[in-house]
Structure 1
Amino acid sequence: MSTSTITELETLLAELGLKTPIPQFPAADVLRKPLDIARCYLADVFSEISESDVENAYHSINGPNNIPMGDLAVVLPKLVHGADANVLAFELMQKFPAESPLFLLPFPEGVHLLIMFRPQTLPRLFLPYINDRKESYGRDAVLGLLDPSSPDSGRKKLVIEFSSPNIASEFQGKHLRSTILGAFICNLYESMGWDVTKLNYLGDWGKPIGLLGVGWEKFGSEELFQADPAGHLLEINHKINDLFVPEQVASKKARDDKKDSAEIESQGLFAERNAFFKRMEEGDEAALAFWKRVRDNGIQNYTRFYNRLNVSFDEYSGESQVSPETMTEVEQILKSKDICEESGGAWIVDLKKHGGRAGVAIIRDRAGSTTYLLRDLAAVLERHKKYAFDSMIYVVASDHNTHFSRLFKILELMDMSDLANKLQHVSFNAASQLSEKVGHGEYTLDGILDKCQSAVEESLQGNPERATLLEVAKGTSDLGVAALLAQELSARRASDHGFDVSRMTSFEPGTGLDLQYWYARVCDSIKILSNGASSSDNDVAALEDEDEANLLRSLVQYPEVTHLAYKTLEPAGVMVYLFNITAQLCSYFEAGRDIPKSADLPLYEATRVVLESGLKLLGIKPLAG
């Protein structure tokens, strides 16, 4: 029986012995979140037996912290304010309907009353629910509607900026982490119905390009560039930066000693760098020709790498693409509102004078050149005009926290609070072992994926049975990417996490290869059973032992997991959830079910639906033998 509409769902619920229509609550979405069905009926029961407000009863019901201990948890102090939890728990247990077709009798744990689904009802309700929805299970397109009450209202627009390396220097670990996290957030918003535009905002302008230009004039070789463009530019970058570091140290020391650093920065490589960038801003043909070569080479190099990661962008933008007219517009607004002031030849915003905490922001330096902040302010205005976005997310490491605080505050000072409120900085820890490795030794832009792939091949050679199931010849490179993504997305954004290639490319629980193996094994079992077979109601009713019930109860939680990820933009919760599913599969098969039986088919199908959806959400290409 289908459960795709309210009418169909209520018909099934009535057959299971539940009263219909389903109790109504504004926060409930029974067609997309199966636990909301249970919340509605449970709130109706607890409102009656505790004599509390029905809405309050609904909002006192949480998901479980530990699925084997319960499917739902009622927070007793929230249900009845000021009540003694122990006394209230006893009273409610006494009054709870013993013959509920959906729930077993509740049991207390601290300030919670835990409730479990009745095993006989569990598969009859939730297996059809999951398998009817297939790839839409766990998604919620209503969240992306301009008007949730009107499907024809159009979709909300998200612009998301991520990866965004600086083309004048090497691709760093923080850029790789931004790429992986940003792609996940794109997938997440698209699964929730948003219209997503993916931007790679390259650091392709400014004084770092000026310094690289000086390096090219000193160390550049046309022959070496033609042989290895990216490698030669990186070599030049290292050489010129080695020469520049002592001058930077001297300038910083002067500032630390409360002295004027202007004299130091008016000579040497400081002066040469500033002069080259000034030539770029003034349209010097030779300087712009060099810049264009660097930019084109960078985009070509990065695009190839992103393709290996299965990541794509709708637009390669960059600081160079921001129009001078828009920057002038920003400056005029700042000056007309007395937000910007001159200081030592530079134009600054002293945010402390305007209630901010982010110190002094430089809009145009004393050489008259534009700054990254000015270009970013102008970029926001241009993007809003171009895309009319409802939200814009920057996925950038935490070392840019001050920059974004300044950006948002200055927009507010420009009387653009509505625009500033649409912006969000999703930060992450820039100091991880990944950041320490990328760009060094073997861990170059492509080298890190090559190393993952070769480690996967070694791992598969030691696991011939799993290698056969995964059809290695077709998917080794994808397995290497899966290993990397699973390790990075398992860590919370603020985490300073480890980076162990040998561990991430093993079949240990909690790795990308283990996820792919169990997905492939489920698909293989479905193939064995699917030769024209179909399950009957009696088959579904047989799914009642503990291992089967625990697996299905976990599958029911999937929409809760995706909705929480949508709120927090943390991928780690999705990874932990999927690892829990595979751990249950391992237990399930070890309990003697290595030979699938026909009654298992609906459960395998539901498991495949959830694993495949979760993998795709994380950017991991599901592989099956």
Structure 2
Amino acid sequence: MSTLTVTGLEALLGDIGLQTPIPHFAEADVLNKPRDIARSYFADILSSLVGGDPANAYNSIQWPSNIDNGDLAAILPKLSHGADYHALALDLITKFPECPLFIRRPFEEGMHLRMFYQPRTLPRLVLSYINDRKQSYGRDASLGLHHLTSPESGRKRLVIEFSSPNIDSEFQAKHLRSTILGASIASIYGSMGWDVTKINYLGDWGKPLGLLGAGWEKFEPEGQFQADPLRHLFDVYHKTYERFEPEQAAYKKARDEGKDPAELETQELFAERNAFFKRMEDGEEKALAFWKRVREINIDSYNQLYSRLNISFDEYSGESQVSQETMAEVEDILKNKGICEADGPSWIIDLKKFTKKAGREIIRDRTGSSTYMLRDLAAVLDRDRKYSFDKMIYVVATDNKDHFSRLFKILELMDLPDLAGKLEYVSFSGVSQMSKKLGRGHTPDDILDQCQAAMRTSLKENPEKATLLGSTEETVASVGTTALLAQELSARRANDHAFDISHMTSFEHGTGPDLQYWYARLCSVLKTAPDPVELSDEDFASLREDGVTNVLRLLATYPEITNSTYRNLEPVTVMAYLASVTDHLSSCFEGIEESDGITPVQATLFEATRTVLENGMKLVGINPAIH
């Protein structure tokens, strides 16, 4: 009988020897989280022994961070306030009744009463549960509903902005990390029932484009441009920036010394930059033709990278696409509410007047040109009107922290606190060795080209792995992509990390290639699986070895892993979990001659494990190399 319904689940539990109905707790989600079943029975027993509110017993139970510390842990001070916790533990251990879900008795450790699952009954519950749910295991579509009890009310809408490279320079490490993290977060929200819209908001306007345009006219590069447009654009950018850097340093020095740096902006490249951008904003045909050309060349290049990463966007936008009417509307609000003030020919917001944090934002500069802040404020209003989102997430490196803090504060000052409250800034460290290792003038494709070249070498050095995975160019591309994705997703967002191509393409534990290898091995052994049959208690009893039990215990935790990742937006949580599963998986293959086939119960175990690995990989944006 299917365990997808409470009736079917209780029938299974009755066959195992448990009393039904399942003890009811409001917070338990027994149809999506198998560990909530155990928690409910454990809480029911503790409540009957201690007395008091059953909900208190349920809430006193937590999940140990490591399976070596048990499967459930009741925090004794929460279970019974003011009791002698050691005496309470001894009393509970003595009186704890036999339950088919658990080993005979819990054990005391400090302030915790810990419990392990019963290896005899664990396979029957967990394998039936996972193999019934298949691709839906670990998902919880109810989290995306406007109203949990009214599915007809519709799904919540998430708009997520990520990648967002600047078209005037190389695709930087922070843009790569934003791309991979953003796609993963979008996938996680989608798995939890949200209606997700993915936006790539290009840095395709502003004075950096004015600087590139000024350099373009100065270096007259047309002949070389035809041969390799993108690399030559980067060459022009670097030549121009090298000349501009001393001017920029002088400007900052004057400003820091309390001098007026305005005169410096009227000289040399500063003036040429400002003039070119003003030509763009004024709609001059020649300036806009250059901007359009640069934009199209870069988007074509980005699309090749995104396609190779299996990442797509619902909307390509950019600073250039922000509505002029909405920018004017924002300016009117800022001026009418006294938030914005004139500072010579510029218009600024002096945030010291409204918040303890010092800050000064320019809305229009002395040339009358729009600024990044003005365009971002207008973009928020445009998107809110277009999508009526419930949440908007920006996945951007930590060097933008002050910008987003000020953006949210200015929206509040504009009497838009509800809109500001829907915005979330998901930051990450942009520190990486990528640009140093790839060299100046690298294109987006260079990133994956080098990963895949190293992956080709790694497969040649690991013939056993190559035999299983394959060594075709398609395999090299797929596993090489996984190598890059896994490295980016296996670091906490706040952590700096090395762009280590050698390590990421190795088969060391926890790497992308190692994950693909174990998934491929499961697929391979399942090819010899016999036709499904009704499994007996004796069949399940053969899965009582410690290694198999540990895998089953881990598989049961997967819904909590996905829920935790949804809450903390740290894909490393999933990656660490998948590495833990593969680490324990090797013991399940002991004594199996894969060429001779496997038993029906082994096939059931391996199919459930394959399902969880596949679900976890796809959740964070990794496609299994073998289907």
- TM-score calculated relative to the size of structure 2: 0.97
Displacement, 1:47? Answer: 1.5
Q: SS state of the match for residue 2, structure 2?
A: coil
Identity of aligned residues (%): 62
Which letter does structure 2 place at the counterpart of 1:341? E
Q: Does 1:449 align with 2:448?
A: yes
Q: Which runs of 5+ in 1 are unaligned?
A: none
Tell which deviates more after alignment, 205-214 or 35-44.
Answer: 35-44
- What pairs with 1:93-492 in structure 2 (closer than 5 Å)? 93-97=93-97, 99-104=98-103, 105-434=105-434, 436-437=436-437, 440=440, 444-473=443-472, 474-492=474-492
Structure 1 residue ranges, 4+ long, deviating more than 4 angstroms after superposition: none
Q: SS state of the match for residue 274, structure 1?
A: helix
Q: SS state of the match for residue 528, structure 2?
A: helix
Task: Provide the aligned C-alpha RMSD in A.
Answer: 1.5
Residue by residue, what CA displacement relative to the aligned partner does 1:148-202 show, whole Å, maximum 9, x if unpaired? 1122221111100000000011110000000010010011011111111110000
Q: Distance in 2 between matches of 1:368 and 1:96?
A: 77
Tell which deviates more after alignment, 430-439 or 283-292.
Answer: 430-439
Which letter does structure 1 place at the counterpart of 2:206? G
Q: Distance in 1 between matches of 2:440 and 2:363?
A: 34
Tell which deviates more after alignment, 210-219 or 394-403.
Answer: 210-219
Q: Distance in 2 between matches of 1:82 and 1:434?
A: 56
Tell which deviates more after alignment, 355-364 or 34-43.
Answer: 355-364
Q: Distance in 2 between matches of 1:211 and 1:163?
A: 22
Contact 1:187 1:617 in 2 (8 A): yes
Displacement, 1:231? Answer: 0.9
Displacement, 1:529? Answer: 1.1
Q: Distance in 1 between matches of 2:246 and 2:85?
A: 66
Which letter does structure 1 place at the counterpart of 2:465? R
Contact 2:301 2:445 in 1 (8 A): no
Tell which deviates more after alignment, 47-56 or 137-146.
Answer: 47-56
Which letter does structure 2 place at the counterpart of 1:406? R
Contact 1:490 1:571 in 2 (8 A): yes
Q: Distance in 1 between matches of 2:213 and 2:440?
A: 23
Which letter does structure 2 place at the counterpart of 1:501? I
| Residue aligning to 1:504 | 504
The number of aligned residues is: 621
Displacement, 1:275? Answer: 0.7
| Residue aligning to 1:621 | 623
Q: Distance in 2 between matches of 1:307 and 1:329?
A: 37
Q: SS state of the match for residue 114, structure 1?
A: strand
Contact 1:438 1:445 in 2 (8 A): no
Contact 2:304 2:445 in 1 (8 A): no
Residue by residue, what CA displacement relative to the aligned partner does 1:94-119 show, whole Å, maximum 9, x if unpaired? 2211x111112111222211111111
Displacement, 1:438? Answer: 5.2
Q: SS state of the match for residue 30, structure 1?
A: coil
Contact 1:119 1:549 in 2 (8 A): yes
Q: Distance in 2 between matches of 1:230 and 1:444?
A: 7
Which letter does structure 1 place at the counterpart of 2:608? A
Which letter does structure 2 place at the counterpart of 1:300? D
Q: CA 1:235 to 1:309, structure 2 compared with 1: closer, same or farther past 3 Å?
A: same
Residue by residue, what CA displacement relative to the aligned partner does 1:415-469 show, whole Å, maximum 9, x if unpaired? 111101110000001113346545547x642222111111111111111121111
Which letter does structure 1 place at the counterpart of 2:483? A
Q: Distance in 2 between matches of 1:81 and 1:254?
A: 64
Q: SS state of the match for residue 262, structure 1?
A: helix
Which letter does structure 2 place at the counterpart of 1:409? K
Contact 1:347 1:363 in 2 (8 A): yes
| Residue aligning to 1:603 | 605
Q: Distance in 2 between matches of 1:438 and 1:370?
A: 34
| Residue aligning to 1:76 | 76
Q: Does 1:86 align with 2:86?
A: yes
Q: Distance in 1 between matches of 2:170 and 2:570?
A: 27
Contact 2:398 2:428 in 1 (8 A): yes
Tell which deviates more after alignment, 513-522 or 119-128.
Answer: 119-128
Displacement, 1:533? Answer: 4.1
Q: SS state of the match for residue 4, structure 1?
A: coil
Contact 1:356 1:409 in 2 (8 A): no
Displacement, 1:77? Answer: 1.7
Q: Distance in 2 between matches of 1:463 and 1:584?
A: 21
Which letter does structure 1 place at the counterpart of 2:118? R
Q: Does 1:25 align with 2:25?
A: yes
Q: Distance in 2 between matches of 1:580 and 1:587?
A: 13
| Residue aligning to 2:58 | 58
Q: Distance in 2 between matches of 1:84 and 1:219?
A: 82
Contact 2:10 2:21 in 1 (8 A): yes
Q: Distance in 1 between matches of 2:169 and 2:497?
A: 24
Displacement, 1:51? Answer: 1.9
Q: CA 1:356 to 1:364, structure 2 compared with 1: closer, same or farther past 3 Å?
A: farther
Q: SS state of the match for residue 472, structure 1?
A: coil
Tell which deviates more after alignment, 13-22 or 320-329.
Answer: 13-22
Which letter does structure 2 place at the counterpart of 1:593? I
Which letter does structure 1 place at the counterpart of 2:281? E
Q: SS state of the match for residue 232, structure 1?
A: helix
Displacement, 1:127? Answer: 0.7
| Residue aligning to 2:38 | 38
Tell which deviates more after alignment, 383-392 or 38-47.
Answer: 38-47
Q: Distance in 1 between matches of 2:358 and 2:495?
A: 24
Residue by residue, what CA displacement relative to the aligned partner does 1:466-519 show, whole Å, maximum 9, x if unpaired? 111112214110110101111111100000122221111111111111100000
Displacement, 1:387? Answer: 0.6
Tell which deviates more after alignment, 425-434 or 330-339.
Answer: 425-434
Q: Distance in 1 between matches of 2:289 and 2:450?
A: 35
Q: Which runs of 5+ in 2 are unaligned?
A: none
Q: SS state of the match for residue 153, structure 2?
A: coil
Q: SS state of the match for residue 200, structure 1?
A: strand
Displacement, 1:336? Answer: 1.0
